[in-house]
Structure 1
Amino acid sequence: MTKIIMSPSKYIQGEGELSKIKQHVSNLGDSFLIIADKFIMSITKNIVEDSFNGSNLALTFEKFNGECSRQEINRLIDVCSSNNCNVVVGIGGGKTLDTAKAVAYYKKLPVVIVPTIASTDAPCSALSVIYTEEGVFSEYLILPKNPDLVLVDTSIIAKAPARLLVAGMGDALATYFEARACAEANATNMAGAQSTKSALALAKLCYETLLEDGYKAKLAVEYNIPTKALENIIEANTYLSGIGFESGGLAAAHSIHNGFTVLKECHHLYHGEKVAFGTIVQLVLENRPIEEIEEVIEFCISVGLPITLEDMGIKEINHDDIMKVAKASCAEGETIHNMPFKVTPETVYSAILTADAIGKQFKL
């Protein structure tokens, strides 16, 4: 039985760490392509330039055009080649980072990932999600290795909107429960192998950290101040959840998220907001103890994650629509089939409505 745990080569986190980027990356190469969108470039370019000031290392700054598409990846590959860059640095949100990872992969270069929000666990992963120029999902690009360095400046993330951090907590919330289900089913993780005890332990630590520091971290971000609680939640959202989902595996919660994308009423939600409700549905599907389900719901309430279909934007329940969600959740190839029992659209349909009914009890 093969077991694999996946992780970036190095993970660095702290207040003001972007100002030290030169000392963190100078061993990787001497000519850096730095990719960021217009807004992120405006708030980070001077910090990066000051860090490299006085060195003989070359910097090429290139604005990201907003979509992780084949066209944009190819454009940036050309920029990289024409400037003889030998390291790719992505600074920003998920699409910027995925694009940087893809460019580095095709150029066979090291990649440095600098997330400016903690809304997903994507920064540490060996995966890029490719879209069309119009923003429609196209394909997953599975990468042979995780980033060479993930650099997290918590003073920048503390200034991002609180809702983004909370969405990251929603994504991280599923990590332990999906990893636990995969372990019980002997299902494979994202590397196509069995998970390790250390991966499951990190996934559990992720959940415990959310319960302990999630609410406090939300308050810190609302006041734009870095605190120990915020540091812990950034680590949980970014590193613990990233290692947990790749090395532990995905199960029902993320499939149910995918199912809800078929409803236009849910299109305003962030990824992690849908995943949070999907986590409650998974626990119902598993018939977990009500105490565990209530603990998760109370956490969601404390930070502002959805616990009912109404919270998801579904004001009136259309049972045909809920069945569409259930069927999409159970599509061939979905990770819901990693659950330790047979799952059908009918059982998912029932679990969604039951989760909604339980959530409504907390609204009374």
Structure 2
Amino acid sequence: MALHPYDLYDVRSLLSEEELAVQDTVARFTDERVLPIIGDCFDEGRFPSELIPEMAELGLLGSSLPEEYGCAGLNAVSYGLICQELERGDSGIRSFASVQSSLCMYPIFAYGTEDQRKRWLPDMAAGKVIGCFGLTEPQGGSDPANMKTNARKDGADWILNGAKMWITNGNVADIAIVWAQTDDGIQGFIVEKGFSGFSAQEIKHKMSLRASVTSALYLDDVRVPEENRLPNVKGLKGPLGCLTQARYGITWGPIGAAIACLDEALNYSKERILFGKPVASTQAVQLKLADMARRITSAQLLCVQLGRLKDAGKMQPTQVSLAKWNNCRMAIDIAREARDILGGAGITTEHCPIRHALNLESVITYEGTETVHQLVVGRELTGINAF
């Protein structure tokens, strides 16, 4: 039997029936609802918010959180497959789900009170409340400890001042999980859209993640009640714990983008006739296609094992760094090679490689640049922090 070109090692045979069902369901959603519109959304710089209710109906928001909060209660591998299939459509769609699930719902679940969980999580799972995650600052970048946003106690409330940058979902969010310096270390706060002094400004002129909302957040003497503080964590381990959850999903997402690019390059090279024969019949193109398949296969196996480790409670942040570094690099290289195989046609958004290549410029940068993840692995090997 011929091997599947996008699953040479039959990775699907390693998945449970539930995991297969999740992947197939999200794949259909991507094929039927995302792919027909996403090229136009990218061209227009528009996030397709009309898809949010459908994503919620499928259980894609907060999918790994318990069913008692209106979530699907899926395992880590299933969440990874969700990210993979969504990013096969577009990184912006996966980014929306990642932020909602891992950066907003997860901290409320992990660091919040039971009242906060009951108040926010069911509506967030249903897509009725959208969240964003406020950690990165204009001067901070890869150094989140260099945080200027601050919160001071004022009676029963907190007063927040500062700014956050490169915030996915910022202008469509109903709440922001904002991290701020306090006299007792970094703490997290649920800042609601209507709070006086809180505003979001959408970032325009992007050449990447154009089908995603990216914003700057501004906090000018924003009064936040004590019941909106996340009480069960202090210090950088709070936001970094959220980032580990999100980075795990990001390790899977680029596999989907890479598969989409390989699919288009393979089909195009078979159809395009040059010098009297298909481009796919040349050694140069076959070498490129084979290398794409090799790298996708390696990434798939890496992620399945990472997911199994996560489900077993054994996953370490360094393992996530290794996978994000490997898989983002894999995907961006494949997108560029696929664009090259398509020739001049590859520069238009009628084909997906240039869109994925541009999006992956952000994915390889956010939530830890490639260099940061390389240094995390280097620190693990040597025991020396080179930051």
Q: What interval of TM-score do these two structures reach, taking the shorter chain for normalisation?
A: under 0.3
TM-score by length of 1: 0.26
TM-score by length of 2: 0.25
